[in-house]
Structure 1
Amino acid sequence: MKIKKPKVISLFSGAGGLDLGFKNAGFDIVWANDFDKDACNTYTHNIGSHIVCGSIEDIDSNEIPEADIIIGGFPCQGFSQANLLRFADDERNKLYLEFLRVVKDKKPKLFFAENVSGILSLAKGEAIKKIENDFSLAGYSVKKKLFNVADYGVPQSRKRVIIVGVRKDLNIDYDFPIATHTSPSKAKKEQLLPWVSISKALEDIPDADDADHGLLNHDYSKYKITNRNFTGHRKTDPEKPSPTILARGNGKGGVCAIQHPKNHRRMSVRESATIQTFPKSFEFFGSLTSCYRQVGNAVPVKFAEQLALALKNKIGE
């Protein structure tokens, strides 16, 4: 069944990387939600005022409009081997259960859930089995895939799992997008484009220390560079895709920005956002730490758009 301008509900939207990708692909984001005020301000300014700022636990499903698709990512810290028997009692699983609750209540045609690669091995693989079983019982055929977004033209090595559910009463078979890029050593043989390097992605970004750079959010952390083999402290290879843009911290500190490809300072928020394939006109709101966190939590826009286009070919105009 063909539908025009598919309608999308977004949960745990953050600054809106996943949403912007779907919007760019021609989808209509009709409702979104996040609890972080800075992220909601960023989202409202750049994408639309349809975001509701507040905890999803406090929002009744009847307050959420009908839609064809639900998208979002949920935390997975509570999926431990010991806690699977007491799953609903673990505070850390509340947001996953809220995602499941909204899918059950709204019964969209499809849902897309994004998560870290570690979800596949949590509780020795039992966590992902539980997730798939939960959504199967809710009436969805589920498939999952581990991606490195560098394989899709994003200038970053970032491994994430995409879980897709299709309502069982529909004749829709979603196919994940096919990779367009690979490592330079394999590109010719596999007839794909080589990965986009971090230096290539940032080649037209003026230096953040230039007084007249004219870019939004082109401020950077002064956190010391130590060049040791530890997350956030490793040297950046300018000829490779960027290391994963990080999102540690809770708004009170803790974010560690990746080093610039020249390894003379940390990348700015703008540079980090460029690696996450946000457009230069996309403005982030909040403290420096909050902006870094919003960027790091996002799904790369270009990758999200390819996920959406693969779906639009099935149910779009």
Structure 2
Amino acid sequence: MKIISLFSGAGGLDLGLIQAGNEVIWANDIDKDAVATYRENIGDHIVCDDIKNINIYDLPEADVVVGGFPCQGFSLANRKRTLEDERNQLYKFFYSTIKIKQPKFFIAENVRGILSLGKGEVIKQIVSDFEEAGYITTVNLVNMANYGVPQTRQRVLIIGQRKDYGEEMLFQFPQPTFSKDGKDLPRWISIKDAIDHFPDPDTENNVINHIYSAYKVEYRNYTGHRKTDPNKPSPTILARGNGKGGVCAIPHYNGKRRLSIRESASVQTFPEKFHFIGSMNSCYRQIGNAVPVKFAKLLGEELIRLEHNGV
């Protein structure tokens, strides 16, 4: 299927969709480093610009629109004001793109917290908006470890299907392929399984982006500062961390340092030849913001199945 990608970042979601056989025909992000990374590894179809400068009517026709939008500007008291809230321009752009371009499907990714905002009223409002735009909509909470990603990353996937394809959702959400206990499915992939083959970054090696933050490992009961168990999936790879604008990379299970950029990318299931561009903080942030490639490919395979079935 032909796909428009909004807020693409370094391209984790797009790469997985492409690996499955789909074509991303237009992409956008405002971050120069992320766009440079995307261009080097994926393609030149990405536009580096603020969405305020983009005319939705000029976007190409596509079968699918994908992307993640922030949700910090939602007002529970005034729905109209919510769409006009300056902080919700990205959500409004995504919503308006769906409403104007009317793709067959859309896929929106977000953090788990969107489900609890306003005691659940915000996600109801978002679903209502998409249904008003002409889509039946499902909301799916996913633990990426259940799909072969070596990370206990929980995210929300909102799937929309244009109503003229029927009231039954044709998009079959991927079923888990791994489990925590390993009884009925293979056991979750551990972080050690995923990254133990990399050489020590302090020795001479040819591994790209295999450098790490000097931010000291001090264990305390706070996100990004807890011990990493080598026999379990990694904690969530972060896009933000220390509260001062910097990124807090997850501690390596050896307890001596933080994960390198390359190791963090492997936990997010990026290919080992995928080259990230920018400062160390920028690279960590690009990785932390991404959708794991392996999971994105499963979504892409479902789109391919639907296309083969004539949807």
**Identity over aligned pairs, percent:** 58
- Residue number among 121, 130, 140 corresponding to 2:135 in the alignment: 140
User: Contact 2:224–2:241 (CA<8 Å) still a contact in 1?
Assistant: no
Count how many residue pairs are aligned between Structure 1 and Structure 2. 306
Q: Does 1:298 align with 2:295?
A: no
What are the within-5 Å matches in structure 2 for residues 207-218 of structure 1? 207-211=200-204, 213-218=205-210
Q: Does 1:200 align with 2:193?
A: yes
CA drift at 1:312: 1.8
- Residue 85 and residue 108 in structure 1: after superposition, are their counterparts in 2 closer, same or farther (change >3 A)? closer
CA drift at 1:127: 0.5
What are the within-5 Å matches in structure 2 for residues 165-204 of structure 1? 165-171=160-166, 173-183=170-180, 185=181, 187-188=182-183, 191-204=184-197
User: Contact 1:35–1:53 (CA<8 Å) still a contact in 2?
Assistant: yes
CA drift at 1:311: 2.5
- Once residues 47 and 133 of structure 2 are traced to their aligned partners in structure 1, the CA distance between those partners, rounded to angstroms, is 25
After superposing the two structures, state which structure 1 stretch, 163-172 or 271-280, moved more: 163-172
Q: Secondary structure at the match of 1:97?
A: helix
User: Contact 1:249–1:293 (CA<8 Å) still a contact in 2?
Assistant: no
- Once residues 24 and 154 of structure 1 are traced to their aligned partners in structure 2, the CA distance between those partners, rounded to angstroms, is 16
CA drift at 1:275: 0.2
Alpha-carbon displacement from aligned partner over 1:171-219 (angstroms, at most 9, x marks no partner): 5611100000011x3x22xx201000000001211111111x2111111
User: Aligned partner of 1:200: which letter?
Assistant: D
Q: Secondary structure at the match of 1:302?
A: helix
CA drift at 1:55: 1.0
What are the within-5 Å matches in structure 2 for residues 70-81 of structure 1? 70-81=65-76
CA drift at 1:83: 5.9
What are the within-5 Å matches in structure 2 for residues 1-317 of structure 1? 6-82=1-77, 84=79, 86-171=81-166, 173-183=170-180, 185=181, 187-188=182-183, 191-211=184-204, 213-248=205-240, 253-316=245-308
- Once residues 59 and 80 of structure 2 are traced to their aligned partners in structure 1, the CA distance between those partners, rounded to angstroms, is 31
Alpha-carbon displacement from aligned partner over 1:52-103 (angstroms, at most 9, x marks no partner): 0001121001221110000110011112535646313422111100100111
- Once residues 31 and 230 of structure 2 are traced to their aligned partners in structure 1, the CA distance between those partners, rounded to angstroms, is 33
Which structure 1 residue ranges, 4+ long, deviate > 6 Å from structure 2?
A: none
CA drift at 1:309: 1.1
Q: Secondary structure at the match of 2:149?
A: coil
Alpha-carbon displacement from aligned partner over 1:100-121 (angstroms, at most 9, x marks no partner): 0111111100000000011011
- Once residues 159 and 81 of structure 2 are traced to their aligned partners in structure 1, the CA distance between those partners, rounded to angstroms, is 25
After superposing the two structures, state which structure 1 stretch, 14-23 or 121-130, moved more: 121-130
CA drift at 1:261: 1.6
After superposing the two structures, state which structure 1 stretch, 62-71 or 13-22, moved more: 62-71
User: Contact 1:141–1:165 (CA<8 Å) still a contact in 2?
Assistant: yes
User: Contact 1:253–1:289 (CA<8 Å) still a contact in 2?
Assistant: no
CA drift at 1:254: 1.6
TM-score scaled by length of structure 2: 0.95
Q: Secondary structure at the match of 1:194?
A: coil
After superposing the two structures, state which structure 1 stretch, 54-63 or 117-126, moved more: 54-63
- Once residues 195 and 21 of structure 1 are traced to their aligned partners in structure 2, the CA distance between those partners, rounded to angstroms, is 20
User: Aligned partner of 2:31: which letter?
Assistant: D
Q: Secondary structure at the match of 2:107?
A: strand
TM-score scaled by length of structure 1: 0.93
Mark the runs of 5 or more structure 2 residues left unpaired by the alignment.
Answer: none
User: Contact 1:147–1:162 (CA<8 Å) still a contact in 2?
Assistant: yes
User: Aligned partner of 1:257: which letter?
Assistant: A
- Once residues 303 and 282 of structure 2 are traced to their aligned partners in structure 1, the CA distance between those partners, rounded to angstroms, is 32
